[in-house]
Amino acid sequence: MKQTSSWASFAGKLAVYEHASDVCQCPMTFAVYTPPQASQGPVPVLWYLSGLTCNWSNVMEKSGIQRAAAEHGLMVIAPDTSPRGDDVADDDAYDLGQGAGFYLTATQAPWSKHYRMDQYILDELTPLVAERFPADMRRQGITGHSMGGHGALTLHLKHADRFRSVSAFSPCSSPSEAPWGQKAFGAYLGDDREAWKAYDAEHLVRAQPSKATILIDTGNADPFLDEQLMPQRFIDACEAAGQSVESRLQPGYDHSYYFIASLIDQHVAHHAQVLKSVPGSRF
Amino acid sequence: MKQTSSWASFAGKLAVYEHASDVCQCPMTFAVYTPPQASQGPVPVLWYLSGLTCNWSNVMEKSGIQRAAAEHGLMVIAPDTSPRGDDVADDDAYDLGQGAGFYLTATQAPWSKHYRMDQYILDELTPLVAERFPADMRRQGITGHSMGGHGALTLHLKHADRFRSVSAFSPCSSPSEAPWGQKAFGAYLGDDREAWKAYDAEHLVRAQPSKATILIDTGNADPFLDEQLMPQRFIDACEAAGQSVESRLQPGYDHSYYFIASLIDQHVAHHAQVLKSVPGSRF
């Protein structure tokens, strides 16, 4: 693992790292914001999963998350959205291939060789963070935007003992019913919709709700609201399953980072409150 | 004037406008952040002047200024850094021509036809803002970054009755002594260094200090610190002239927007405090 760049940010440090990934079989890049509190000992970890076309830089440049993380003493980890490189399968469309990994393990050629973003985060990046950074891994939360909101919800629901707090901005929470998800799942997982269920938050929450309260914000001026995001479907599934959820439609906001920036303080505060309450915390 | 895009941001509105500029003789673009308080009546105005290569988007995407402006109820105006277009003189270098207007009125060909950024801000954009936006023009402050810090300091010192509060991030405050300034002033203003004095903050503060307190932050890891910025020269000139200045070297920070974002709250609060104290304010 090598650090490729770093900046002082809100009295902490933002740095970008590159490492050779065994899971993705290509070099992978991620960013870590370490808050000033980490100089006193390990701090809780907030994972931020980005949306289509993004990499670590969108959230770190545009969301203001470092400000909130420094206020609450959280580390922020921003993985990339897919494997990348000349040898990695790709597609000309913005919503398939590089930049569109959908936080799943592809089973179909040509994607199955490199596209394993959930395994990468769970089995490779997590131990790397635990080993190399002052991270209190008993206290991890997860959030994300759009495709990354899908990633945050599904990773939380499948690993609620690990990602104890969860929130999402404009998540694609019913991907099996949305054009983005149908296209990506069909390509990465094949036509058998049974295989899609393991990556569909609406299905997962019906099957295995968590004890957390899921915080979701979506702009009511989001151009993807009705066709891709459909937040009410996920709310209905949560209510049917007994999952605590606070899903809000925010007036006037769209799908941009201006929206995320406007709500990031509330999301980070939500994570901090949950993670502080984890027993045994030295936070 | 036409609005080319807009976004909800911190319960206010960020919008980008294009208009035909008489002063610059080309189309000009600028952004306005209108805070939620403007729905109750005119609000004070904070001008943000960007640095080399930038346009309205850098500060609005990366600094978090909308958050602070919404907290304090300030409007933010972000002009472009130069005239632009196929018909506008340019240079391949990043520090001359388009994106590098230096907030001055060029007297030398080929620059003198379009490059009039100070006149543009003072005589064209200001009345446009006053007419079209809920702006309390008795309460204006000015700030900026690098080349824009030079712009903020010089416009304040020459028009202290208009720009009542002033601050700067990493300003080029002694441009006549810095390679950036020498190159630009030589091209735009000619070789006679007497003509440079009207755009040199170090000279201006010696000749006509203001009653304001100038707030300046510069990172001590800024790669331009010693050669281009030289903050101590400006501090010395302020002290000699009786100008109140608070110029700080911030440990670890560089020249990036990560630095600006980390300090923007303090700068906006500085402006809000001064502008709130202007007699007759309805702020």
Which chain A residues have a beta carbon less than 8 Å from that of B7?
253-254, 256, 258-259
**The 3-state secondary structure of A18-82, one letter per residue:** EEEECCCCEEEEEEEEECHHHHHCCEEEEEEECCCCCCHHHHHHHCCHHHHHHHHCCEEEEECCC
Q: How far apart are CA B274 and CA B99, in angstroms?
A: 30
Compute the nearest-CA separation of B31 from chain A (Å): 14
Give how far B38 is from chain A: nearest CA, Å. Answer: 16
User: Is A244 one of the catalytic residues?
Assistant: no
Q: Mutate which of A225, A262, A268 to test chain B, going by most B C-beta atoms within 10 A?
A: A262
Sheet of B135-144: strand order equals B2-9, B12-21, B26-34, B75-79, B43-49, B135-144, B163-169, B213-219, B244-250
In the block, which residue shows the tokens 């009410």? A232
* Predicted structure pTM score: 0.96
- Tell me the C-alpha to C-alpha distance, in Å, between residue A197 and each of A83, A189, A206, B52: 23, 10, 11, 50
Q: What is the pLDDT of residues B122-167, one digit of tens each?
A: 999 999 999 999 999 999 999 999 999 999 999 999 999 999 999 9
DSSP string, A124-182: IIHHHHHHHS-EEEEEEEEEEBTHHHHHHHHHHHH-TTTEEEEEEES----GGGSHHHH
**A62 contacts in chain B (CB < 8 Å):** 61-62
Chain B environment of A252 (Cβ under 8 Å): 8
Confidence of residue B283 (pLDDT cuts 50, 70, 90): very low
Phi-psi region of B127 (alpha: psi -120 to 50; beta: other; left: phi over 0): alpha
Is beta strand B12-21 parallel, antiparallel or unpaired with respect to B26-34? Answer: antiparallel
Query: Cβ of B261 and A14 within 8 Å?
Result: no
Which of B7, B221, B254 is facing A256, going by the closest CB pair?
B7
Sequence letter at residue A154:
T
- Over residues A225-271, the pLDDT tens digits come to 999 999 999 999 999 999 999 999 999 999 999 999 999 999 999 99
ipTM over 0.90: yes
B256 is catalytic: no
Quick check: is A19 catalytic? no
Which residues 60-79 of chain A have a CB within 8 Å of chain B?
Answer: 61-62, 64, 66-67
pLDDT confidence band for A163 (50 / 70 / 90): very high
Whole-angstrom distance, CA of residue A111 vs CA of residue B250:
47
Per-residue tokens: A238: 């949560």
What is the C-alpha separation between A70 and A64, in angstroms, rounded? 10
Chain A, nearest residue to B255 by Cα: A7
Q: Please state the rounded mean pLDDT for residues B164-185.
A: 98
* pLDDT given at position A42: 96
Binned at pLDDT 50, 70 and 90, residue A79 comes out as: very high
Size of interface A-B (CB pairs under 8 A): 65
